[in-house]
Structure formats: C-alpha cells, structure tokens
A = this chain, B = another copy of it.
C-alpha cells in the first residue's frame, strides 16, 4: 500500500498509519514514566526533579508558503508554541529544521525568518538550535520542535476531561484553513479573510495563572474542532454535547463553507484553543479569555457528558453526530 494525501491530513487515515506503522514498530516511546508517543498527545514530557520537560514537534509544508495573515515561518513558530502551551507548559525554546529547494529565493527566506523572529518575540521564546538542508522539495519545509517546562504532574492532557466540564473555544473557528485555501486556489471571493495564526501561550497562561481548573486542552489544527473534540472523547471515554448556535464562527466563514461545501468544524485553526473546564470555573474562564485580544469571541459551546461517547451537536432541527474527519478537507494547510 502506498501513501496518499489522506495519510498526512489529520483524521482517521493518518491515525491508523501512525498507530500501525510508526507506533507499532517502536519499543521505547517514553522516558522516566513521562507522557510518551503512545499517548498521542500534543507533546511528550520528561520528568526531571520537580519539573517536567515538555517536548513536541511539527513539520510544516503549507501551500502557498505566504498566505493572508502569515507564512510558513509564523506557522512553524506558533504551531510548536501552541502545542507546548496546550500541555500547560511555558514554552522556552524552539529548534528549526529548514529544508530548501534549489533555486529558492534567499529574499523569501529572509522574509520568513523575520516572521519567525516576530512570533518568537511576541511569545518570549528563543530559537536555540537549527539545521539547514537543500533538497528535492517543491517548496520550503520547516520542522520545528519545541521545549517547554511545567511543574511535575501538572501537564494538561487530552484525556483529562470530566463529566460536567464545560467546553470552551477561544474564538472564531475555521479561519486558518479557509484563508490558506482561498489564497491557494485563487477563488474570486471578495474577502478580507486572514489566517488566525498566533501564539497562544499568553492567553493560556492568563487562564492557568488564575487557577482555573482546565481538565483537558487542545489546539484544533489539522482536522479542525471536529478532530480535537473527538480525540478528547476517545481518550476520556466520555461524550461531548455542543450547541451549534453557540459555535463562535464569523458570517464570512459560514458563507464560504456553504459555498464550498466544507464543514467548518473540520477546518484547521492555528490560533485557537479548546478547553474542558470545571463547570464552576467556566464563567470565570470565559471572562478571562474575553479580556485577551485573542479571546474576544470566546464561547462556551457545550459540556461533557457520560450518557454517550460521541461528539454530538445540537442543531435547531435536532442532533447530529460529529465524526472524526476521515482526512482534512483542505490538505497542506500547516
């Protein structure tokens, strides 16, 4: 069997490849009892003294590499910062592995590096190690690994949601994937749509610093909110109800989704976080999020239940099961 696009698109096809061919072949997937590869969380941890080192990596192959709101550099930086942040960690440092095609304009690389620097400054994170190769690739590829720190036992897991928790999304969904799609395909929509790509460490810290009980947290990138919620369900053994009318989504994304026949719940975000928050802390959490520039459109969209083990959306006409997308409807968005 051969690799196809679906194997890299998030969703079920990719998860199967990872479980069978990657995890299936590895004996050692964790260190000192920390969170490991088998946990398929946003990152792993290595316990060290009274801290845990949090470690994560993302490869970025977005097309086009420059899109409204950012570029592959912004994405490489923010993507990794966000994976560390949703583990509850303070991101400290990133590595960059840059693969360049022959003929790539150094001016473009310069522009990408300036964006990386801007995102790093914004997030207070340093690029401390890197590697550059020139190879047979269509366009620049950047893999960024990252290191963060969290107090021992305090990492926030995908699997941690509890019955009764409220599900909160920090803002409007679907903007990254849709912005990349429109700029790639050159659709003639009259739109100012931009990717939401942004570092989430500050907004997440603003919540955690107030001791809000966040029981589970993810950044809904590839596969969108549908994928993240289903992972939280699968790993916790609980179910989620969400209310369609509470979903934060702009009229523009609704209109574009309708026009293109794409479910915005499956579209990648790069500057949003979804949290399962203890019900008694949910209102306070929402208030904190809304005070942050990145959280103005935050919403409580649903709650965690034990009566089923699915993601179920209540719509005006009834209920709909939101499945794990088989693959991202828009490939090469990150």
Contact = CB atoms under 8 A, between A and B. Distances in A.
A17 interface: yes
A5 B7 CA distance: 30
Interface in A103-159: 103-107, 109-110, 113-114, 116-117, 120-121, 124-139, 141, 143, 145, 147, 149
Nearest to A115: B25
22 contacts: A1-B105, A4-B103, A8-B135, A21-B106, A21-B113, A22-B132, A26-B113, A26-B127, A28-B117, A28-B120, A31-B93, A35-B128, A37-B128, A37-B130, A48-B51, A53-B53, A55-B93, A55-B95, A57-B96, A61-B133, A97-B143, A99-B141
Contact of A102 (B5, B44, B96, B134): B5
Interface residues of A, number: 87
A330 interface: no
Contact of A17 (B93, B99, B106, B147): B106
Most chain B CB within 10 A, of A26, A103, A128, A139, is at: A128
A120 B26 contact: yes
A205 interface: no
Interface of A: 1-9, 14, 17-18, 21-22, 24-31, 34-37, 43-44, 46, 48-49, 51, 53, 55-61, 63, 92-93, 95-107, 109-110, 113-114, 116-117, 120-121, 124-139, 141, 143, 145, 147, 149, 331-332
Contacts of A138: 135-137
B149 A55 contact: no
Contacts of A103: 2-4
A37 B98 contact: no
Contact of A113 (B22, B53, B129): B22
A113 B55 contact: no
A62 to B, nearest CB: 9
7 closest A-B pairs by beta carbon, nearest first, are A8-B134, A145-B145, A136-B138, A44-B128, A61-B135, A143-B143, A57-B95
Contacts of A97: 57-59, 97, 143, 145
Contacts of A60: 133
B18 A95 contact: no
Contact of A137 (B18, B57, B137): B137
Contacts of A139: 136
A27 B147 contact: no
Nearest to A332: B135
A71 to B, nearest CB: 13
A35 to B, nearest CB: 8
B145 A28 contact: no
Which of A18, A101, A136, A139 is most buried by chain B, counting CB atoms within 10 A of its CB? A136
A21 B109 contact: yes
Contacts of A7: 100, 132, 134
Contact of A93 (B44, B51, B106): B44
